[in-house]
Amino acid sequence: MTTFEDLGLSEATLKALKTKGFEEPTPIQIQTIPILLSGDKDIVGQAQTGTGKTAAFGLPIIETLEGRTKDVKAIILTPTRELAIQVAEEINSLKGKKSISIIPIYGGQSIDMQLRSLKKGVDIVVGTPGRVLDHIRRRTLKLDNISWFVLDEADEMLNMGFIDEVKDVLANTPEDKRTMLFSATMPAAIMGIAKRYMREYEVIRVANQQLTVTSTSQIYFEVAQRDKFEALCRIIDIEEEFYGLVFTRTKVDADRIANQLMDRGYDADALHGDLSQGQREKILNKFKKKNITILAATDVAARGIDVQDLTHVINFALPQDAESYVHRIGRTGRAGKEGTAITFITPEEYRKLQYIKKSTKTDILKAHLPTVSDVISIKKQRIQYDLEHIINSDSQPAFVEMASDLLKGKDPEQILGAILQYSFQEELDEKNYVEIADAVVNLKGKTRLFVAQGKIDGLTPKKLIDIIKEKCNISSEKINQIQILEKFSFVNLPFNEAEILLEHFKQQKKGRYPLITKATKEGKGKGKGKGGQKKDHKKDFKKDHKNNYKKRSK
């Protein structure tokens, strides 16, 4: 068995790995780290998300950096801001006591805050292509002296249309840098980047692992972002015994949720990368002994937690990918016990959930949150059960004496009601609960679909509606904004109906019915025309509109 010691890592890094709870390296780490530490080749790595790629490229970077400098020494590009945050947190947790500064920069975050951080001096920048390029053009980020360039999730960069931005960033880096490119798949465009921008490189491939899920019950709730905490509290309240992990995206979220739970009287705490090893061990020990029963944690911090009897895993924030989802929910339902995995999604995250369901080949069932009445009813049942248990046991004489005094000349039911009110009024008062509005996915937006047939094929609005109704039983009331052009067409459907239609037509290449795909841009689809040749739909779109304009002008 290969160990981290065998990979040539320093004692300081090995200590940091031990603190994180890493016991043995993954295949991508075993193959990548020695090459990066001992040679000067670049790396093209093919491996799924969740296989340890971040440590595979992060550890060698940390090992070679001497400490704080004025110049940025490493740039890591990721396709999404969520991944940028995740990678930055992971590398920060791997550095140990080494004086290295790592920051994520991405769109949607205050650019002023990023400017202040960059001005102070940063060693490693993790960012999305657009925001990185923005800083380069502002001259607030200089990559002239970087030693490392990492392109993470390269195929996602391609799918999201970021390849041109990636090339622009690469054009602002020195030729003598070490370059690492990681991707789950290796399309020609990705290998084209390797051949054009990398020096001598080695290709490393790790076999795909089959994503499997446990027998854990999996459900999801559609919840507005502002209502997630209230929804979490309701779930905890209705469970007879809740003992679980609440996964958050960031350490700030973990702290916030844990503090809010403690403020409401729950036995909770937070676990994230900013904690010392002593603090981490203390919290985990309390959790294992069930002195605390709710632990809000980030993905990075949760690694190494070995608890066998969790009842619940709550995805307070949807995980970045399917692999992370499987890793999270695998923590419940162990040791032959049943567990429940609950995921909160906002309407905007519906598609991402569908992707996770498809990737894991599992049903994640939609459920409805318990109402205020449900929660209060369950609490009343528990209070009654607990009181009956006390009645059937030997009550303390002092309380029996108080009861005797209270009952003198009074109605027993009135007395008991007063005691219950005194003890549980706040807990059972509906006014103390916040209503949660329904977050309905299907009404939150439309999907624009591209249809690879047009007037030239005899397609009309009525025929298109009939096809959609016939094949997928979708009501014509949900079909709108049909646009039949000369060689292709467009149609709008609600998100959910669009996914149903796309799933049905994904294997359709030719024949009686047209190919239907998502429209990537106005006038541009992912489909192919007759004969399987790719068509320049954008040019056709402009040509059709030009012809239509001429007809209207006559």
Residue 5 tokens read as 């010691």
Position 22: which residue type? F
Q: Return the CATH superfamily for domain 4-205.
A: P-loop containing nucleotide triphosphate hydrolases (3.40.50.300)
Termini Cα distance of the chain: 79
Calpha distance 246→295 (Å, rounded): 6
Q: How far is CA 14 from CA 9, 22, 54, 176, in A?
A: 7, 9, 16, 29
Query: Cβ(161)–Cβ(109) under 8 Å?
Result: no
Q: Return the CATH superfamily for domain 217-370.
A: P-loop containing nucleotide triphosphate hydrolases (3.40.50.300)
pLDDT at 321: 72
pLDDT at 292: 95
Residue range 478-499, pLDDT digits in tens: 888 788 888 888 888 887 778 7
Query: In angstroms, how far is CA 383 from the centroid of its own chain?
Result: 38
pLDDT at 337: 64
pTM: 0.49
DSSP, collapsed to helix, strand or coil, labels residue 479 as: coil
Query: Cβ(115)–Cβ(147) under 8 Å?
Result: no
Calpha distance 180→54 (Å, rounded): 11
Residue range 358-397, pLDDT digits in tens: 778 888 888 888 888 888 888 888 888 888 887 777 767 7
| DSSP code string of 256-269 | HHHHHHHHTT--EE
DSSP, collapsed to helix, strand or coil, labels residue 409 as: coil
Other CB atoms within a 10 A radius of the CB of residue 385 amount to: 10
Q: Which CATH class is domain 446-553?
A: alpha beta
Q: Domain coordinates of the chain in residue numbers? A: 4-205, 217-370, 381-432, 446-553
β-pair type (312-315, 365-366): unpaired
pLDDT at 212: 60
pLDDT at 128: 92
Calpha distance 263→257 (Å, rounded): 10
| DSSP code string of 183-248 | ESS--HHHHHHHHHH-SSEEEEE-PPPPP---S-EEEEEE--GGGHHHHHHHHHHH-SS--EEEEE
Residue 299 tokens read as 């993905």
Residue 199 tokens read as 């020096």
pLDDT tens series, the chain, 554 aa: 788 999 999 999 998 888 776 777 888 899 999 999 988 899 999 887 667 888 999 999 999 987 677 789 999 999 888 788 888 988 988 888 888 999 999 987 888 889 998 998 899 999 999 999 999 999 999 999 999 999 998 888 887 788 889 999 999 999 999 999 998 888 888 888 888 889 899 999 886 655 566 667 899 999 988 899 999 999 998 888 899 999 998 888 999 999 999 998 899 999 987 888 788 889 988 998 999 999 999 877 776 676 768 899 999 998 877 777 888 887 776 555 678 999 999 877 887 788 788 778 888 888 888 888 888 888 888 888 888 887 777 767 778 788 888 888 788 888 888 888 888 877 777 777 777 766 554 434 577 888 888 888 888 888 888 888 887 778 777 888 788 888 888 888 887 778 778 877 765 554 555 678 776 544 444 444 333 333 444 444 444 444 443 443 44
pLDDT at 228: 93
- Please give the helix or strand (H or E) that residue 495 lies within, else none: helix 495-505
pLDDT at 269: 96
pLDDT at 75: 97
pLDDT at 91: 92
The residues, any chain, with a CB within 8 Å of residue 223's CB and separated by 6 or more, are 231, 344, 345, 346, 369, 436, 439
The residues, any chain, with a CB within 8 Å of residue 325's CB and separated by 6 or more, are 315, 319, 343, 356, 360
Domains 4-205 and 446-553 share a fold: no
Other CB atoms within a 10 A radius of the CB of residue 404 amount to: 9
β-pair type (74-77, 217-222): unpaired
β-pair type (446-451, 489-494): antiparallel
Residue range 62-109, pLDDT digits in tens: 999 876 777 899 999 998 887 888 889 889 888 888 889 999 999 878
pLDDT at 409: 79
pLDDT at 98: 87
Q: How far is CA 315 from CA 213, 225, 269, in A?
A: 15, 13, 16
